[in-house]
Amino acid sequence: MISWLENHMIPCLSKKFLGIDCPGCGMQRSLVELLKGNFTDSFLLYPPLIPVMLMVGFLGVHLVFRFNNGGRYLQYLFIFNAAFIFLNYMARLVLSII
């Protein structure tokens, strides 16, 4: 399954047509490395992957069990993840210029 994923990754249209990374660039490669068990490589490729996966997992659990303040926690997780993705994207842009 992992080799199939490696051979069928979706190309980044932003990178292909504009020549710049998008905020999600590296997520697929990071997921493949995570599935292989390479946690360090996964984190280095795309640091926001783990928090995003935790948020999606919490969303699934919340939809089944309907926690009292689950919606509020999801809002906080979304804001945290959006900020993390934005900061990661800005860091990549700055490092690519240097």
pTM: 0.90
Extents of the domains making up the chain: 2-97
- Which of the four pLDDT bands, split at 50, 70 and 90, describes residue 97? confident
- Which of the four pLDDT bands, split at 50, 70 and 90, describes residue 98? confident
Alpha carbon distance 92, 38 (integer Å) = 21
- For 70-94, write each residue's pLDDT tens digit: 999 999 999 999 999 999 999 999 9
- For 1-44, write each residue's pLDDT tens digit: 899 999 999 999 999 999 888 999 999 999 999 999 999 999 99
